[in-house]
Amino acid sequence: MRFVVAAVAVAAVALPAVAAAEPVVPQPGLPCGANLGDAMTWPSDGTAPLACVGGPAGYQWETVDSPYPISDRWVSFGPPMKLHGEGLRNAAIKSGDWTATPLDPDSRCGAEQLAVIPGVGAGPPQDVEGEPGQPLSLQVVPLLFSIEMTGNCLWQKVTP
């Protein structure tokens, strides 16, 4: 009996810890949840954004064919997602009040914004980060040059 208990104790110590699963990076044709319907994402290795579109087979990621995509709902996964704002032509994200909601309890939403300062160029970065599993409210600054969104999060514009 002592040998069985010792073997179980050794096996329990020797097992690797189970890590939280990394979010699945969206790819064209992969499924997405209905809660992400009409949201877009811009994969770090992609040349075009993807949109979560509903159809007869459910929701799935599809490549956006617009040359100037803009959305009031974005999804960030894993690596930072960089978007350009109204400080440049063809903005992908509008200024205003936004809420980032983690898509899993361990995720932390964060953003780094750079604004255009007339006559100067880009200003200093403005960083904000939420707590794990908690929504983050932020203002996307006017004349936004770029924003890098992090975390497994759904970003939604609060006011149209």
DSSP string, 45-98: T-SS-EEEEEETTEEEEEE---SS---SEEEE-SS-EEEE-TTSSS-SS-SEEE
3-state helix, strand, coil in the chain (%, to 5): 10, 40, 50
Query: Which residue is listed with tokens 């969104």?
Result: 149
| Residue 11 pLDDT level (bands cut at 50, 70, 90) | very low
User: Which of the pair, 83 or 9, is modelled with greater confidence?
Assistant: 83
| Strand, coil or helix: 42 | coil
User: Which of the pair, 110 or 56, is modelled with greater confidence?
Assistant: 110
For the cut 90, the answer to whether the pLDDT of residue 10 exceeds it is no
Q: Find the angle CA(144)-CA(154)-CA(98) to the nearest 5 degrees.
A: 40
For the cut 60, the answer to whether the pLDDT of residue 92 exceeds it is yes
Average pLDDT over residues 73-77: 97
User: Which DSSP category does 123 fall into?
Assistant: -
